[in-house]
Amino acid sequence: MSLRKNFKILLTMALASGIIFFAAMGLPFNAYSETPKISKESVDILTKTGQAMADVAAAVKPAVVNVSTSRTIKIPQSDFGPFFNDPFFRRFFGDEFSHRQMPKERKTASLGSGVIVSPDGYILTNNHVIKDADEIKVLLSDKREFKGTVKGVDPKTDLAVIKIEAANLPVAPWGDSDKLRVGEIVLAIGSPYGLNQTITMGIVSAVGRADVGIADYEDFIQTDAAINPGNSGGAMVNAKGELIGINTAIFSTSGGYQGIGFAIPSNMAKTVMDSLIKKGKVIRGWLGVTIQEVTPELAKQFDLKEGYGALVSDIIEKSPAEQAGIMRGDVIIEIEGKKVDEPDHLRNMVAGTPPGAEINLKVIREGVSKSITVTVGELPAEMQKATGGEYNNVLKGVSVQDLTPEISRQLNIPSRIKGVVITDIAEGSPSEEHLKPEDVLVEINRKKIADVKAYENIVSKIKPKEDLLLTVFRNGATIYIPLSWK
């Protein structure tokens, strides 16, 4: 039998087997080769959805900018490396080699994003994007580049306002972040890793996230839209193309996207921005109460049916709360009809209320619901942290706070010591090697410092390369520290 004849027999048997198999399955013989059908309805839905997202992206993209910054940091250098600090080395070669140990300057650059919020060039971004920057460059979607100047910063919310000299710029319309619901579709727009005008899509995973550890005032929107380094300061928009958040941070164990990103709600951002632009600082509302979380144990002790709200544990004398009749042990469960889930929610809502405004609080007192009207006061200056990061002199990057009696007790500082306490020193600050957090600045150039206001008044007049003599209280003693710009 020829090879060709054998091949025909085998082919016939294979085809027959296939026919028998498909017949047994109740399928036509050519079913395996049919192209899957996509219904017109499915195609229409997906096409319309895609077009809608593209329309939103096209409308918002021009209002999102790339923000690049540079700053100079000093790195101590020595010709002898670690050996120079060795006592044995210096015993033989002496201290005359100390002049060789000179600080070396190095330029560092970082990237972030921003959102144009006014046609005349105001841009909202994160404080950490522009902190301690020597130079700020803003790149628009049309490739134009401008120099940015800082108009105001608020480290407590990690927000900042910068300005460029331009006109007729595209802006992002404001949305109401209070109306945002979990599950809504959102777009995140920014410059991750320097890739300008990048858009990612996700949903609102949660709202009202606090205790994240990013800022003092936290009320974050959580999303699974991809947010990566460089997205900070960019826009989060809803399906209407409205700005409902400022992308700020990610939760990550790898440094990259893991499905958990956070944005500052637009309502909080707008309040802070308006205050920075109009008054140069953030004016916050204040009740004058110390509050804590309502745990199941405390809920039982205070005869509460549900474990939510903010428990008042103390009241400051002559504060708005005391004048309104709020008492220790009250549990605040509503403010202006809005539920208070936890202490951070109450703190954020009060802080965002203009001083002088009347608000209605619903409290539970000894198991009975009461309504109390309070006139909101202004957060006292001594409770606000002042930053010297914008000063272009040797105290650049030094953050201070008023030395209150409470802080004096915590740090064991004698009552005779008056001044401001250092709370933070930015990396690369000219005074980084000489000052420490918890140092108390008593005098600058022999001028006494009574409080933050006096500190700002003195420091704002110091020239860029002017030498200073500081009087500092440290470790139980007062010492003199000379500072010079190297």
- The DSSP secondary structure of 184-218, one letter per residue, reads -EEEEEE-GGG-TTEEEEEEEEEEEE---SS-SS-
pLDDT in tens, 414-424: 888 999 998 87
Chain centroid to CA 113: how far?
13
Specify the pLDDT at position 461.
80
What is the pLDDT of the chain when averaged over all its residues? 81
Q: Which two tokens stand for residue 368?
A: 């009975």
Cα 148 to Cα 135: distance, rounded to the nearest angstrom = 8
Q: What is the mean pLDDT of residues 373-390?
A: 68
pLDDT of 7 > 60? The answer is no
DSSP 173: P
Q: What is the mean pLDDT of residues 386-411?
A: 74
128 included as an active-site residue = yes
Burial code of 447-469, b = ≥16 C-beta within 10 A, e = fewer? eebebbebbbebbeebeeeeebe
pLDDT-based confidence at 292, cuts 50/70/90? Answer: confident
Q: What is the mean pLDDT of residues 152-165?
A: 91
For domain 382-483, the CATH class is: mainly beta
Catalytic annotation, pick one of 132, 154, 158, 402: 158
DSSP 118: S
Q: What is the mean pLDDT of residues 405-432?
A: 82
120 included as an active-site residue = no
Specify the pLDDT at position 387.
43
> Hey, is 134 helix, strand or coil?
coil
> Hey, is 220 helix, strand or coil?
strand
Look at the domain 285-378 and name its fold: Pdz3 Domain (2.30.42)
Cα 396 to Cα 430: distance, rounded to the nearest angstrom = 7
Opening angle at CA 226, ends 222 and 229, nearest 5? 100
Specify the pLDDT at position 83.
47
Specify the pLDDT at position 118.
93
Specify the pLDDT at position 80.
47
Cα 172 to Cα 243: distance, rounded to the nearest angstrom = 6
pLDDT of 389 > 80? The answer is no
Q: Which two tokens stand for residue 88?
A: 């044995």
pLDDT-based confidence at 282, cuts 50/70/90? Answer: confident
Catalytic annotation, pick one of 128, 224, 266, 275: 128
Whose tokens are 């002790």? That residue is 301
Cα 428 to Cα 105: distance, rounded to the nearest angstrom = 10
pLDDT of 385 > 50? The answer is no
Specify the pLDDT at position 388.
42
261 against 76, higher pLDDT: 261
Specify the pLDDT at position 70.
84
pLDDT of 386 > 50? The answer is no
pLDDT-based confidence at 456, cuts 50/70/90? Answer: confident
Range with the poorest average pLDDT among 25-29, 294-298, 444-448 = 25-29
pTM of the model as a whole? 0.65
Same fold, 177-279 and 285-378: no
Give the CATH number of domain 177-279; options: 2.30.30.90, 1.10.1040.10, 2.40.10.10, 2.60.40.10: 2.40.10.10
Question: How many C-beta neighbours within 10 Å does residue 152 have?
Answer: 21
> Hey, is 111 helix, strand or coil?
strand
pLDDT-based confidence at 376, cuts 50/70/90? Answer: very high
Opening angle at CA 290, ends 309 and 293, nearest 5? 35
State phi, psi for 321 to the nearest 5 degrees: -65, -45
Instruction: Tell me if 419 sits within 8 A of 403, measured CB to CB.
Output: yes
Cα 153 to Cα 136: distance, rounded to the nearest angstrom = 14
pLDDT of 259 > 90? The answer is no
Q: What is the mean pLDDT of residues 321-343?
A: 89
Q: What is the mean pLDDT of residues 128-132?
A: 86
Residues 6+ away with beta carbon under 8 Å from 180 = 204, 207, 221, 238, 244, 265
Q: For residue 237, give the nearest of 157, 180, 162 by alpha carbon.
A: 180
- Which CATH architecture fits 62-163? Beta Barrel (2.40)
pLDDT-based confidence at 477, cuts 50/70/90? Answer: confident
Alpha-carbon distance values, 209 to 101, 215, 256, 421 (Å): 48, 12, 20, 31
Whose tokens are 């400051």? That residue is 316
Cα 299 to Cα 305: distance, rounded to the nearest angstrom = 7
Cα 455 to Cα 43: distance, rounded to the nearest angstrom = 66
Length of the chain in terms of residues written: 486
Question: How many C-beta neighbours within 10 Å does residue 102 have?
Answer: 13
232 included as an active-site residue = yes
Chain centroid to CA 43: how far?
40
pLDDT-based confidence at 49, cuts 50/70/90? Answer: confident
Instruction: Tell me if 127 sits within 8 A of 154, measured CB to CB.
Output: yes
Specify the pLDDT at position 17.
54
pLDDT of 73 > 70? The answer is no
pLDDT-based confidence at 168, cuts 50/70/90? Answer: very high
- Calculate what percentage of the chain has a pLDDT beyond 70: 80
Specify the pLDDT at position 268.
92
- Calculate what percentage of the chain has a pLDDT beyond 90: 28
Catalytic annotation, pick one of 177, 232, 275, 431: 232
Residues 6+ away with beta carbon under 8 Å from 40 = none
pLDDT of 215 > 80? The answer is no
Radius of gyration of the chain (CA): 31
Domain borders along the chain are 3-33, 62-163, 177-279, 285-378, 382-483
